[in-house]
Structures are given as structure tokens and as C-alpha cells.
Amino acid sequence: MYVAVKGGERAIDNAHAFLAEERRGDTSVAELSVAQIREQLRLAVNRVMAEGSLYDPDLAALAIKQARGDLIEAIFLIRAYRTTLPRFGASRPLDTAAMAVTRRVSATFKDAPGGQILGPTFDYTHRLLEFRLAADGVVPPAPTALATGDAVPHITGFLNRDGLIETDTPSDDIPPDLTREPMELPASRPLRLQALARGDEGFILSMAYSTQRGYGRTHAFVGELRIGTVEVEMDIPELGFAVCIGEVEVTECETVNQFKGSKTEPPQFTRGYGLTFGQTERKAIAMSLVDRALRWKELGEDNTGAPAQDEEFVLMHADNVQATGFLEHIKLPHYVDFQSELELIRKLRAEAMSALQKEAAE
């Protein structure tokens, strides 16, 4: 039975006004602009775009401001906004080989053609707080060198030449879309990659870490990690050809795993794949490890019962908007539910007590 209860409207309005004031903080401190967030908190913006599953740096920055820096709340806002947009269509698959790279490293080949390009990375920093940043500081321009403009081919291509690594068969199949149809299990690899690409960074990271520690062993090397911009092309029916509709920054990670072979496959290297919006390399590396762990069945490996091998466990718990929605709803009024629990407990207690009294009397 539902009991309609009214009230709380004024309290809610006032709570929102209080929230707005707290969001602004001390008014003697200058207000943060959306452009400042977009430019100076770019990795937060990237995470919101990747997990919000919508590439729009201005919107992500606005969401971060509105959410007071709570990134999961910001992702929620972006997901909600996304549902209001008409979908014009789908792009042609990104050509990541043609990426304008700002970072490209391989842990497996020192002398890879195209070279090891460190880019704007935290790697090799000392992780010591820079108090200079607390004061206003002018940053000297970054050094430059002659860019050769040479192609930067995918590194797994070199292993392919010797047949030492599995190949992915190109196709033009229309991939399933979990934003349109509920996710069905068992999921195809394209569906798994979509779910992982928008999954929570912390969750995917922990799943990947668990495989490294032995829960579904994937001893992976980063064959290649590349970050840069790629053009997005879409077929325009009115024109009869594809045009570039913009450019997105992505992170791509290919991991290489040893594989001792199975009944159907010779010993060779196998691959895990990660692709995410923005410079989001922790997420892309983790995604490729989890992708590889989930492929145990297809490769004829043992299921060790590890969480990262359990497709349902991983895919059904990776989405932080779903997770936080279900988790946080338990703080909202459950007065009637709880009233029935209370009555049940009282009844059970009364029965138990009278049984005890009866026993004592006998």
C-alpha cells in the first residue's frame, strides 16, 4: 500500500538554494569559469566525456562546475543531457592509424618506427607537490623539435608480419548499441568494448589490477599506447559521400599477452584493446586488460572463476551512473517499506519471546 505524503517542498527549494551558495563558495574568491575548467582541469573533463559517453569539452566542463567537482555527478548530468539529443547517425570507424599523435609509447619495442614520443605525461615526474603552482606563475613555452610528419604505424602490425600475433578480421557489421537496446549476455566483443569504454574508471582499474595480481591471469605488456586527435567522418545521405564532421582526441591502448595456444589456435601473442575519449590513459590500459580477460572462452582458456573473467559481473557493474543510482536511492524516503519491516520484526520478536516463555514455564 502506498500512502501519499505531501510536504518538504519548501525544504527542498531551500536546500537547492543552499547548494547553489555552497557551490559558489567564498565570494571574495573569484568565480571559476567554464572555460577555465575546460582548459585547466582537462583530465577531469576527459573523464566526464569518456564515461558520460559524449564528446563535448564545454558541456563536460559545465557539468563539472554544476556538480561541484563530483565527477560521477557530472557524468550523470552529461548522460541525462545526451538523451535529449536527436541522433543524426553513426560515424565511420575511426582510423586510429592516421592519428595526429601527441604521445605514443611502446613497452615492447624500443626502436619502433615513429619512435617513442612521451608527450604531456605525468610519468617520470617525482610526484612532489609543486608549490610554485600555488602562486601565480608564468609557464615557459614547451620546447619544440622538427616534426618529420612520418607515419606512425601501429606496433602490433610488426608482430603480424611474422604471424606471431592474432589478427582482427575487419568487417562492416553494424555493432550493437547498449544505449538503444538493453545489454544482452553473452555479449559480443563490440558490445563489451562499448560497455567498458563508458564504464567507471575506478571499477575498470580494479578489475584490471585484479587480473595482474592473479585473478584471471593476464600478464600483459603495453604493445602500444597512443594519444592524439583523429578526424570523425560520417556518411551524409544528401551528399552521397562521407565528410569530416569534426575531430576528437582519443587514447588507444593495445596490450599484448602471451598465449600458449589451444586446440584451435597456435601459440602466439593475443591482444587486448582499449579506446577512450580524451587523454585518459589509465582507463584505456585498464580497459584493454579487462577486454583480454573477458576473452577466455573465445581463446579456449580456463575459467578460473576470477571476477574479471565473469562477463556478467564486469559488464553489469561497470556503469557508475547505474551503480550510484541504485546505491544512493536507499537514502531517499522508504518510510512505508521500513514500516512493514518494523512490523515484521516486532511480530517475529513477539513470537520468539512467547516461545521462550513457554519453554521456561515447562
Partner 1 sequence: MTTDSQKNDDRKAWMGVLARAKPDALAALMPADQPDHVLLRAPEIGSVMVRGRVGATGAPFNLGEVTVTRCALRLACGTVGHGHVQGRNRDHARQAALIDALMQTDRAEAIRTQVLHPLAQTEQAARHARAAKAAATKVEFFTLVRGEDK
Residue 85 within binding range of partner 1, rule CB under 8 A: yes
Question: Given the complex with partner 1, which of 176 and 215 has the nearer CB atom?
Answer: 176
Question: Given the complex with partner 1, which of 231 and 265 has the nearer CB atom?
Answer: 231
Residue 174 within binding range of partner 1, rule CB under 8 A: yes
Residue 184 within binding range of partner 1, rule CB under 8 A: no
CB of 57 to partner 1, least distance (A): 9
Cell of 179: 544505449
Contact between 89 and 235 under an 8 Å Cβ cutoff? The reply is yes
Q: What is d(CA 34, CA 60) in angstroms, rounded to the nearest whole number?
A: 9
Residue 156 within binding range of partner 1, rule CB under 8 A: yes
Question: Given the complex with partner 1, which of 216 and 223 has the nearer CB atom?
Answer: 223
| Residue from 2, 5, 11, 87 binding partner 1 (CB under 8 A) | 87
| Residue from 27, 28, 125, 169 binding partner 1 (CB under 8 A) | 169
Residue 275, number of CB atoms within 10 A of its CB: 21
| Residue from 41, 49, 71, 290 binding partner 1 (CB under 8 A) | 49
Question: Given the complex with partner 1, which of 55 and 259 has the nearer CB atom?
Answer: 55
Q: Beta partners for 222?
A: 255
| Residue from 139, 145, 332, 361 binding partner 1 (CB under 8 A) | 145
CB of 298 to partner 1, least distance (A): 12
Q: Beta partners for 259?
A: 268
**Residue among 88, 91, 222 at smallest CA distance from 154:** 222
Contact between 307 and 217 under an 8 Å Cβ cutoff? The reply is no
Question: Given the complex with partner 1, which of 34 and 215 has the nearer CB atom?
Answer: 34
Contact between 79 and 51 under an 8 Å Cβ cutoff? The reply is no
Question: Given the complex with partner 1, which of 58 and 337 has the nearer CB atom?
Answer: 58
Question: Given the complex with partner 1, which of 162 and 172 has the nearer CB atom?
Answer: 172
Residue 201, number of CB atoms within 10 A of its CB: 20
Longest dimension (CA), the chain: 97
Cell of 121: 605525461
| Residue from 164, 183, 189, 316 binding partner 1 (CB under 8 A) | 189
CB of 35 to partner 1, least distance (A): 13
List, edge to edge, every strand of the sheet that includes 241-259: 100-105, 220-236, 241-259, 268-277
292-331: contacts with partner 1 (CB under 8 A): none
89-118: contacts with partner 1 (CB under 8 A): 89-94, 96-97, 100-103, 110-111, 115-118
225-284: contacts with partner 1 (CB under 8 A): 231-232, 234, 236, 238-248, 250, 252, 254, 271, 273, 275-277
Q: What is d(CA 312, CA 183) in angstroms, rounded to the nearest whole number?
A: 10
Cα 285 from chain centre: 11
CB of 27 to partner 1, least distance (A): 30
Residue 122 within binding range of partner 1, rule CB under 8 A: no
Question: Given the complex with partner 1, which of 140 and 305 has the nearer CB atom?
Answer: 140
DSSP labels, 229-282 = EEEEEEEETTTTEEEEEEEEEEEEEEEEEEE---SSS-SEEEEEEEEEESS-HH
Residue 175 within binding range of partner 1, rule CB under 8 A: yes
Residue 151 within binding range of partner 1, rule CB under 8 A: no
Grid cell 556478467 — which residue?
A: 312
CB of 244 to partner 1, least distance (A): 3
Grid cell 573473467 — which residue?
A: 309
Three-state secondary-structure class, residue 36: helix
54-73: contacts with partner 1 (CB under 8 A): 54-56, 58-59
Question: Given the complex with partner 1, which of 249 and 301 has the nearer CB atom?
Answer: 249
Q: What is d(CA 284, CA 208) in angstroms, rounded to the nearest whole number?
A: 11
